[in-house]
Amino acid sequence: MINSYKDLRVWEAGIDLSLAVYQATRLFPKQEWFGLVAQMRRSAASVPANIAEGAWRQHTGELIQFLHIARGSLAELHTYVTMSARLEYLTAEVSQSLNDKIDDMGRMLHGLISSLREKRGSGHESRTTNH
């Protein structure tokens, strides 16, 4: 049983991804601090934040909606990582590492969404997350 969003592996992976983005963007040029760096950090932080917010909602449908928002933030982050790599702000190794984490998060979110939809479709609408 899940007692909190903090018990979700996908939330923890989102925190890890966010920290990796913060670390990767530390040495970006100063002119990017209010542009690309801010956008990357915002989209990365949005992933676990939306997972947490959705988990606090009353209905499974609301959680699913917030998980979809988290997936959108992942797509946004992937775009920024691609741009950063092409601008040579990120090494190929760091870019690949971030993209691997993004792909893993995407699979985890997809799996959780599918599982929740299945349970919802079979009449198991009750939520197990306590706030």
| CATH number, domain with residue 82 | 1.20.1440.60
Distance of CA 19 to CAs 29, 31, 74, Å?
Answer: 19, 21, 14
Q: For residue 79, what are the domain limits?
A: 5-118
Burial class (CB in 10 A: 0-12, 13-18, 19+), 86: exposed
Instruction: Evaluate whether residue 114 is within a structural domain.
Output: yes
Q: Are 129 and 5 in contact (CB under 8 A)?
A: yes
Instruction: Evaluate whether residue 125 is within a structural domain.
Output: no
Instruction: Extract long-range pairs of 88-96: CB within 8 Å, 24+ residues apart.
Output: 89/28, 89/29, 89/32, 89/36, 90/24, 94/24
Instruction: Evaluate whether residue 96 is within a structural domain.
Output: yes
pLDDT tens for each residue of 76-112: 999 999 999 999 999 999 999 999 999 999 999 999 9
Q: Give how many domains the chain has, as a whole number.
A: 1
Q: Which residues contact 61 (CB under 8 A, 6 or more apart)?
A: 120
Instruction: Evaluate whether residue 129 is within a structural domain.
Output: no
Instruction: Evaluate whether residue 131 is within a structural domain.
Output: no
Q: Please say if the pLDDT value at position 3 is more than 80.
A: no
pLDDT tens for each residue of 17-66: 999 999 999 999 999 999 999 999 999 999 999 999 999 988 999 999 99
Q: Are 73 and 31 in contact (CB under 8 A)?
A: no
Instruction: Evaluate whether residue 68 is within a structural domain.
Output: yes
